Structure formats: C-alpha cells, structure tokens
Chains A and B, each alone.
Chain A
Amino acid sequence: MDIVRRNNVSVTGNPDGPTVVLAHGFGCDQNMWRLTVPALAEEYRVVLFDYVGSGRADPSAFSQERYATLEGYARDVVEVHEALDLRDAVFVGHSVSAMIGVTAAGMMPPERIRALVMVAPSPCYIDEDGYRGGFSAEDIDELLASLESNYLGWSSAMAPVIMGNPDRPELGDELTNSFCATDPDMARVFARTTFLSDSRDALKNVRVPTLVLDCTQDVIAPREVGAYVHRAIPGSTLITLDATGHCPHLSAAGATNAALTRFLAGLR
C-alpha cells in the first residue's frame, strides 16, 4: 500500500535538517499547521499528514474496526514513520494526536521518535473518580449531534474532489470549509475514539524528552489536565501559553512557535 498517498503525506522544509512530524487532531486536517510550518521550514525537515478519515487521506482505507481505538490511528503514525524511514524524529501532536503519538512511540523502536511535543493534550476527557477531564458521556453525545447537524461543506458528491486529488489541491481549496470537511460517518468514529479514550496509563511509559504545551483558557484541555500530563510523564517540561481556545498554533502562533523552536533547539 502506498502510505504516502493514503495519508496524504507531504514533506517540506530543509531536507537536511532534523525531522519534525506535525500531526493534526480531531476536527480538521494538516492545514491546521499552516502558521507553524514557516517557523520550522528553514531549519527542519517538516512532515505533515492526514489521518485516514480526515482531510485528503484516502477514504477507501477507512475501517470502523481499526479506527475504533487510538492504536488504529497510532498505526497510521507508525506506518508513516516506516514509509519515510524516519529516524530521531520529533513528533508534535495536537490534541488527541498527542496521545496517539505516545501510543505510536510505544509501538516503534526507540530510534524512530526522539522527542514528543504535546499541544493541548488530554489523556482522558471524561470525568472519573479523582480525575477531572472536563466532560461527561452525555456531553460527548451532544458533540456527536453537532457533527450530524454540520456537514461543513462535505457532501458525498464533493468528497472525491476533496479527497481523491492529492495531486491537485487547488480543487479542494475552492471549497469552503474543506479543511474540516469529513465524511460524517468517519468523523463520528474519530470523535468517539477521541473523546471516549482513556490513555492515562500510557503516560508513565514515555521515555523521551517531552514538552507539554497547554493554554490559559481551553475548554477541551483545561490547565489541570495539562498539569496532570506533565506530572505523569517523567522529566517532562510544561509551558502554559497565554492563549484562549484549543488551537494555540492558530490563535497564538507566535508564542506556540517560540516554545516549540526553543524546545527543538535544546535537543540539538
């Protein structure tokens, strides 16, 4: 299988620089990193991709069973690393991708990923005894209902145009909301897998240098969750960005890029 095509992998930046993999979270696609890439491109080789079921990844590769668990998405990450034979890459994951990165790192030999950056991570979104993730199971059902009410420009007629033409991105760019246009059935699977996941136990196994970035105001990953992740990963660094919302790489790109490049420079 052609993984590069399947996951709509794009490689940009400095081909001789260290590799940084940018992984989008639930919702949109690799376009979420559009303000991050310019800050890295000069020094780093930047790898972007879309998870199967998102963006312009090949929808025919989707399977309800595989993507019902974070491991399924983590296999996408592993397969992208293997297809490009990435070594000593820094994996930057936003939102659920941060935990997908932790899972994927555990599935690969250590030479593949040398460090993790977790942007607005949460290892568990639903409240449990002694843990506050911020949401109840009913809240997640409400999100699923919102997904059903908003197809965001996705339609079965346009999907082949959006997803089937990785060589001709201009076709997709014409379409409003195409960054978040996803087959509703696949989006529902990703939403369920994301928000019903509990990967708190995986955090203690992280053995690589890790930067945790959270935001001052984030309803999805509140500060206490960021602090939890930081405490659970031995030796990790926590930086709280002065940002509102769940996407600091868009809403506070300058501060996010500064924290990211400082961490990357420290690894060299």
Chain B
Amino acid sequence: MARSERPDPHETGAAAAPGAAFAALLEDSAEELYDGAPCGYLSTLMDGTIAKINATLLDWLGVGREEVVGRKRFTDLLTVGGRLYHETHFAPLLRMQGEIRGIALELRRDDGGRVPVLVSSVVKHGTTGEPLLIRSSVFDARDRRGYEEELLRGRKAAEAARTQAETDRARLQDALAVLQQSLLPDVLPHVPGMETAAHYHTASPDRLGGDFYDMFPLDAKRFGFFLGDVCGKGPQAAALTSLTRHTLHAAALHDADPVAALTTLNTVLHARYAGGGDPRYCTAIVGTLETDPATGQAAVQLASGGHPPAIVTRADGTAEFLPTPGGLLVGIVPHARFAGATTVLAPGDTLLLYTDGITEARTGADRSTLFGDDALLAFTADHAGRRPHAVIQALVGLLDSFGKGLDDDTALLALGVPAPDQYTETTP
C-alpha cells in the first residue's frame, strides 16, 4: 500500500488498533466463521438429509445439532406449505439449474414459531459431474418479509380498486349512453315526398352532450322539427335538454307556429331556472314543413332563438343562409321576441340545421383558426343539389377530418326534396 511507504504522522497512533483487530480476524478460524456467521449454513445430501448445519441456523431453529444432523431433511425444517412449494418449484429448479437463489420460505422453530427466510442453494458436483450434495445459505428475512407483505397488501388493494373503478366506469358509460339516446329520436319519421337525414357527434363518451334535435308529425299534412344546443355539459345540461325537447314537442302540437313554440319554451325555461336564480338557456331553430304533392314542393316555416342560421342548398348548386335576425337566447328574459322566416324547398333543395360544434371546430396547423360560417357555407355549396343523406355523409367526413380540432358535440339535420332523377337512388 502506498500509505505504508509514506506514513501519515497523524494516523500512526491510530494504526495500531486496526492492525490488532486485523490480526484478531486472521485468528478467526474458518470453522468459527462458519458457525458464527450472520446467516445460516446448511449442507444436505441429495435426498435432503442434513449433513452439516451451522450454529446460527440451529439457534434460529431452537434445536440441538444432534437432533437434526443425519436425522432430518431440509423439508422437515419448513412449514407444510413451504414443503409443497419446495417439492413443486424449488427442488425441480435446483435439479435442472444446479442452483437457485433467494427463495422465500418459512422455517418452523422447535417451539412452534416461524422464521421467514430467504434460501439460496447450489449443488456440489463430483469430479465426474455427478451431484454430491446441496449447499444452502439461509438469510433472516423477518423485516424484509414484513415489508413485502405490506407491498403485497398494497398491490392487492390497488388491484381491487382498479377492478372496481373499471366496473364503475363501464356501468357509468352504459348509463350515459342510454341517457344520451333518450335525448335523441331513435329514427326520423318518414315524410312523404321528402328525405331526411341526421347525425350526432358526441365529443366524449364520459360526458352527456348538450345538443338535441327531433322531428315528428303535427297533423295529416305537416311535420314539426327542431334542433338546438343547451348551455353547459353533463347531467344538468341533459336535464335541460330533456325539458327543452319535450316542451318544444308539446308546444308545437298545441300551436304549430314556430314563434309560438319558442315563446312557450322561453316561458317554461325562464320560470324553471332564471326564476330560481339559476339562469339556464338554449339556442334552437324550430320549424314546420308542409309538402304539396301537386308541385312536389315543401313550404318551410322557421323561428330561431339565438341559433346559427339554417343553410338552404339549391338544386342549381348554390347555398345560402336563411337569416332569422334578432332572435334571443331562449330562457334568459321573461318576454323574449323571436324572428320567423320562410322558404320553399323545390325538388333538389335541402334545408340544413346544425349546431356550432362544426363552425367552431379549430383548424389550421396549430388549431387556432375556427372553421367558421363562411367555410361551412362554401362546403355545403359544393354539395348543393345532392340528397340529404349524401350531404350529411359529406359533413360527417368533414367532422372526421377535424380530428382533435373538433372538441364539442355537433348535431346535424338535413331535410330535402329529392329531385325527380334522385328518386331512383336507394335510401341508405
């Protein structure tokens, strides 16, 4: 050592003591080291009969050497469960691999107590390769086992919590899906001489959407329809949607005039929410549709309460907004005014109602630009003259193309009079 050649004056005095300790260590015989080691040592014949065992292990077991050497097998020291494990895993692996390390077992003490241990074993082979004996070292694992049991308990608890959470989540999603479906019509009614198509995009399966639409017969000649968007999301929005939908339906049956239906809805919502200090509102377009079998045309009457204007696409390939200016949000003020509008759909024309999920979809490389009203108008113009199903299909493709830019629910409803040459197409 370099240090012995250049002794440090400060350490010379202290060096004597370690030197003496080192000498004492050298005097420690291998036998003493074996017996007094801080771990258990055990040698057995290949059949498990104990041939040699150190004092440490005897002390842990609480037995005398003469009670075990030549009299007991290694498995006799184990708990019954440990013996089963030994026979099915430990012994075969030791035979196949020649060694095995760190197996957790429990020793049975003479007084009935148990000592958790970790056992490592190697097979000693003779000169011709035949197995002669098994050497094992045994480590006290009381503290470690306690810690491991804590971990195992934690793991089991986490596992149980995860399973429960998954079950709960699945149940919740089922319930939400059923509830969501109850807010939309199962199918649109058949309107003679017309074609109708709708689509509903749900932003998240975990969240109830706030958009709604419906269509229903008013009398022998007329059909009523509406589409809208309630404020907010989730269960409270769903409750509002349910109230809105049924109120509009009932109001339209009572008085088909769309302005009257919206006025009734406004009264109901204002009384129910704003009156109680919790203002909630919606936007909606409500309308009626009356077809004339003689001309093949459909007369449309609309009223809007704060909702984006409907789009009409014409057979000649143009598209235009159908303005409904001045309509207020429904449910905010006690006596709201709503603006009406009318149009006539000739063969090849389609009326499109939508919610702002589509116009407020974020586009562009950094998703910072809104898709916008003009882009929607231009898109529908490209599909003007096509049947409602084809228009909805194209719009669904557009929604898909938004990807993550589409983060709101979107409802679409298209009502059209197919052109005569379109009647041959089959309805999907």
> Does A142 belong to the interface (CB within 8 Å)?
yes
> Does B37 belong to the interface (CB within 8 Å)?
no
Indicate if the CB atoms of B87 and A180 lie closer than 8 Å: no
State how many angstroms separate the Cβ of B146 from the closest Cβ of chain A: 12
Which residue of the partner chain B has the closest CB to A95?
A: B88
Indicate if the CB atoms of B92 and A247 lie closer than 8 Å: yes
Indicate if the CB atoms of B87 and A220 lie closer than 8 Å: yes
B41-64 vs A, Cβ < 8 Å mask (1 yes, 0 no): 000001110000000000000000
Which residue of the partner chain A has the closest CB to B48?
A: A244
Indicate if the CB atoms of B96 and A31 lie closer than 8 Å: yes
Please, which residues of chain B bring their CB within 8 A of the CB of A152? 89, 93, 103
A145-179 vs B, Cβ < 8 Å mask (1 yes, 0 no): 11111101000000000000000000000001101
Indicate if the CB atoms of A28 and B84 lie closer than 8 Å: no
In the assembled complex, the Cα of A142 lies from the Cα of B114 at a distance in Å of 12
Indicate if the CB atoms of A27 and B81 lie closer than 8 Å: no
In the assembled complex, the Cα of A31 lies from the Cα of B96 at a distance in Å of 9
Indicate if the CB atoms of A34 and B96 lie closer than 8 Å: yes
Indicate if the CB atoms of A217 and B47 lie closer than 8 Å: yes
A128-156 vs B, Cβ < 8 Å mask (1 yes, 0 no): 00000001100111111111111010000
> Does A59 belong to the interface (CB within 8 Å)?
no
Please, which residues of chain B bring their CB within 8 A of the CB of A34? 96
Indicate if the CB atoms of A180 and B89 lie closer than 8 Å: yes
The answer to whether residues A179 and B84 also contact, given A148-B152, A244-B48 and a CB cut-off of 8 A, is no
Interface residues on A, range: 35 or more
Indicate if the CB atoms of B85 and A247 lie closer than 8 Å: no
> Does B82 belong to the interface (CB within 8 Å)?
yes
Indicate if the CB atoms of A219 and B47 lie closer than 8 Å: no
Indicate if the CB atoms of A147 and B48 lie closer than 8 Å: no
Indicate if the CB atoms of B79 and A28 lie closer than 8 Å: no
The answer to whether residues A27 and B92 also contact, given A139-B84, A142-B81, A220-B84 and a CB cut-off of 8 A, is yes
State how many angstroms separate the Cβ of B370 from the closest Cβ of chain A: 45
Please, which residues of chain B bring their CB within 8 A of the CB of A217? 47, 73
Q: How many B residues have CB within 8 A of the partner chain?
A: 29
> Does B65 belong to the interface (CB within 8 Å)?
no
Which residue of the partner chain A has the closest CB to B83?
A: A219
> Does B80 belong to the interface (CB within 8 Å)?
yes
Please, which residues of chain B bring their CB within 8 A of the CB of A247? 87, 91-92, 95
In the assembled complex, the Cα of A29 lies from the Cα of B93 at a distance in Å of 11
A residues 13-45 near B (Cβ < 8 Å) are 25-28, 31-32, 34
In the assembled complex, the Cα of A150 lies from the Cα of B97 at a distance in Å of 17
Please, which residues of chain A bring their CB within 8 A of the CB of B87? 27, 218-220, 245-247
Indicate if the CB atoms of A250 and B95 lie closer than 8 Å: yes
Indicate if the CB atoms of B93 and A146 lie closer than 8 Å: no
In the assembled complex, the Cα of A77 lies from the Cα of B21 at a distance in Å of 66
> Does A91 belong to the interface (CB within 8 Å)?
no
**Residue of A28, A143, A149, A244 contacting most chain B CB atoms (<10 Å):** A149
> Does A51 belong to the interface (CB within 8 Å)?
no
Please, which residues of chain B bring their CB within 8 A of the CB of A176? 97, 101
The answer to whether residues A250 and B81 also contact, given A27-B88, A180-B89, A219-B75 and a CB cut-off of 8 A, is no
The 7 closest A-B pairs by CB, nearest first: A142-B81, A27-B88, A244-B47, A146-B85, A149-B104, A246-B87, A139-B80
Show 28 A/B contacts (Cβ-Cβ < 8 Å), sorted by A.
Answer: A25-B88, A26-B88, A28-B88, A28-B93, A32-B96, A136-B80, A139-B80, A140-B84, A142-B79, A142-B82, A143-B80, A144-B81, A146-B104, A146-B105, A150-B85, A152-B93, A177-B97, A177-B100, A180-B89, A180-B92, A180-B93, A217-B73, A219-B83, A219-B87, A244-B47, A250-B91, A251-B47, A251-B91
Chain A residues in the interface with B (C-beta under 8 A): 25-28, 31-32, 34, 95, 135-136, 139-150, 152, 176-177, 179-180, 195, 217-220, 244-247, 250-251
